[in-house]
Amino acid sequence: MLDTKINTIIFDFGGVLLGLDKPACLKAFKDLGCDEIEYYLDNCRQQGFFLDFEEGKISNEEFFIQLKNLIGNKVSQQQIEHAYLQFLTDLPDYKLSLILDLHKKYKVILLSNINQFIYEHCKKKYFEKNGHSITDFFDKVYLSYQLGICKPDEQIYHLMIEDANLIPQNCFYLDDGKANVEVATKMGFQCYCPKINEDFRFLFE
């Protein structure tokens, strides 16, 4: 049961709400001839131009040009996008229902290291259906590519705190990245680090 002073629930996206399959994505890129992909790709924080993409420093077009150059052969944009999307598995309906239920009682926020391509894909696939929009699920959405900074940098938390007028001690934050949780805990947030594919509904019973 949550502390009675909690009035805000903050969700990370990938690894908490959305399932991730890094091995499948690595295999898909290696099948295209991109053996260097392991350096760039991580569940919580990317490297190189992948990180630039998540911090909004390069556009969708620039990212895919650099990725195509990295692969170094005549692969199509469609093949590259397909390989990249193998990173994602699913966002279960029970988690969507949970967010809607929590939204009735708490302020609900999304805080994610994510790029524009993945976010737009997921927003349309998971949140813009059955007559819903993203605002039905979250009061505020804070995305690294829009803010220009990635977790676990403290600045992204400070930006969220100021914009949403939060008191960290009154917030319950779920993130699968240990470094992200460590920073948030030091800042006063009450935190939980879910295991892979964990059903964490028991936290809100």
Q: Which residues are catalytic?
A: 12
Backbone angles phi, psi at 173, to 5 degrees: -120, 125
3-class DSSP state for residue 15? Answer: coil
Q: What is the DSSP string of 56-111?
A: TSS-HHHHHHHHHHHHTS---HHHHHHHHHTTB----HHHHHHHHHHHTTSEEEEE
> Which of 28, 30, 20 has its CA nearest to residue 88?
20
Q: Tokens in use for 160?
A: 């969220």
Q: Residues near 55 by Cβ (< 8 Å), separated by ≥ 6?
A: 144, 145, 148, 149, 150
Contact 127, 137 (CB under 8 A): yes
